[in-house]
Amino acid sequence: MTHTIQPNNPEATPAPDATDIPAAAQPKPSPAPAASGVPAALKRRIPKYSDLAPLMQFKKPEFSKEARLKRASTIWELRDIAKRRTPQAPFDYTDGAAEGEITLRRAREAFLDIEFRPGILRNVSKIDLSTEILGKPSRLPVGIAPTGFTRMMQSEGEYAGSQAAEAAGIPYTLSTMGTASIEDVAAAAPNGRNWFQLYLWTDRDRSLELIERAAKAGNDTLMVTVDTAVAGARLRDVRNGMTIPPALTVKTVLDASYRPAWWFNFLTHEPLTFASLSRYTGTVADLINSMFDPTLTFEDLDWLRETWKGKLVVKGIQTVEDARRVVDHGADGVVLSNHGGRQLDRAPIPFHLLPEVKQAFTADNSDAAIMLDTGIMSGADIVAALALGADFTLIGRAYLYGLMAGGRAGVDRTLQILEKDMARTMALLGVSSISELTPEHVRLLNK
């Protein structure tokens, strides 16, 4: 059936007489305005109960851990919860950085100082956040970075992190300075993708022992950190008298009185030790300065490449030249990182370095993976890094805030927040998969 539109000819069709129109179909006159000139709909009246009833949806207050975590919709809100529930020394160890903390501040500002450039009229009904890193799939383009002393932040420590990563389908990296052993983490997350982070010691035999244990436990990637020739000046730790294990002083006892749950967990679980090291007592800086090797060179990287048969990643890359050089010495990937601002203050910002490294690797026809950490506090940060050339990202503080806020459930919440952020950001950018992100989607404003 076709419909023909008649020309607008008022003489062809006479207007109907009002008497021909049924009463129900005749237009109703608008109500006359009130004498005051105020429309009737805007006149004050006493509300009826029937009007108020749909609005009165009072809920019983919830104070459980689950409810507390559910109310957090950003990593910053998890940080606020973590600060309330964690003693000052371990919280500041996580939250702080070196010297004036300039590097950390700049790293976070770098992610804020961008402009997204969205495309429109794209089908974004389904968002795929999966990717591949170092030859294996990851459900999200983010993994958990190595963090030391993790059970000091919250008693579930590395177990919570590795199990949350396993459940999320992403890699988890255990630190040499972790408080759970290589074997225990592997047992806690047997189906997870576990990586091991290594500090090369002056004692190569002890380094070799850790490498062999990591391989035997099923770790497929070794991440060697190269930016800790000496300890950075982490002044919050100095002021707090930070020691391992935490010391019971008048200050810490008073601090604990406001955070009884943390101390109850700390005192009723296995004593805090470095699971990969022998028992050590002293300050963090003393440990680093006595254990790490300031004589490391690229020849040591060659030794490591010959020794380790899995994927080898070098963490702590802060120049294009070093990124290229470690790949020439056998690295399968690099982590652009300034150690979360915890070593050299005023260090290069990984996010700013990223496009240059990507350009250099492209020119070299290198397929080495480019990973990035430092400053990530939202899924939008991750999307921006991927658009500018990162293959993968790592989070440290962001996951530790979740851990301190609620143990394993808090880490789960961290990953849920980041996943939701990423999916929303990509949809608004007009892309439905990681592979569609390009530098055209991000503009650096004031680099």
Query: Is 162's pLDDT higher than 60?
Result: yes
In this predicted structure, the answer to whether residue 280 has a pLDDT above a threshold of 60 is: no
pLDDT digits (tens, 9 = 90+) for 97-109: 999 999 999 999 9
Average pLDDT over residues 416-431: 98
pLDDT value of residue 4: 47
Name the strand (E) or helix (H) holding 369.
Answer: strand 369-372
Residue 39 CB contacts under 8 Å (≥ 6 apart), including other chains: 33
How large a percentage of the chain has pLDDT more than 70? 84
String of DSSP letters for 389-423:
T-SEEEESHHHHHHHHHHHHHHHHHHHHHHHHHHH
Asked whether 126 and 423 are in contact (CB, 8 A), the reply is: no
3-state secondary structure of 160: helix
Residue 434 is given by DSSP the state G
Dist CA 379 CA 73 (whole Å): 12
**The pLDDT value given to residue 25:** 54
Q: Are 174 and 197 in contact (CB under 8 A)?
A: yes
Instruction: Check if the beta carbon of residue 194 is closer than 8 Å to that of residue 217.
Output: yes
Q: Angle 350-363/102-112 helices, nearest 10 degrees? A: 70
Residue 305, phi then psi, degrees to nearest 5: -60, -40
Q: Which residues are annotated as catalytic?
A: 339
* Backbone angles phi and psi of 223, in degrees to 5: -115, 110
- What sign does the dihedral 307-313-314-320 (CA atoms) show? positive
Interval 99-120 mean pLDDT: 95
How many CA atoms are closer than 13 Å to the CA of 189, on its beta-carbon side?
Answer: 28
Q: What is the pLDDT of residues 35-75, one digit of tens each?
A: 567 888 888 888 888 877 787 777 777 668 888 899 999 99
What average pLDDT does range 264-273 have in this prediction?
A: 77
Confidence of residue 279 (pLDDT cuts 50, 70, 90): very low
**Segment among 138-147, 172-181, 219-228, 267-276 with least mean pLDDT:** 267-276
CA quadruple 187, 192, 196, 197: dihedral sign:
negative
Cβ–Cβ < 8 Å for 414, 401? yes
**Bond from prior residue into 87 cis (ω within 30 degrees of 0):** no
pLDDT at 284 over 80: no
For residue 179, is pLDDT > 60? yes
**Domains of the chain in sequence order:** 74-444 (3.20.20.70)
Number of DSSP helices (H) and strands (E) in the chain, helices first? 18, 14
For residue 366, what are the contacts with CB-CB under 8 A and spacing of at least 6?
324, 327
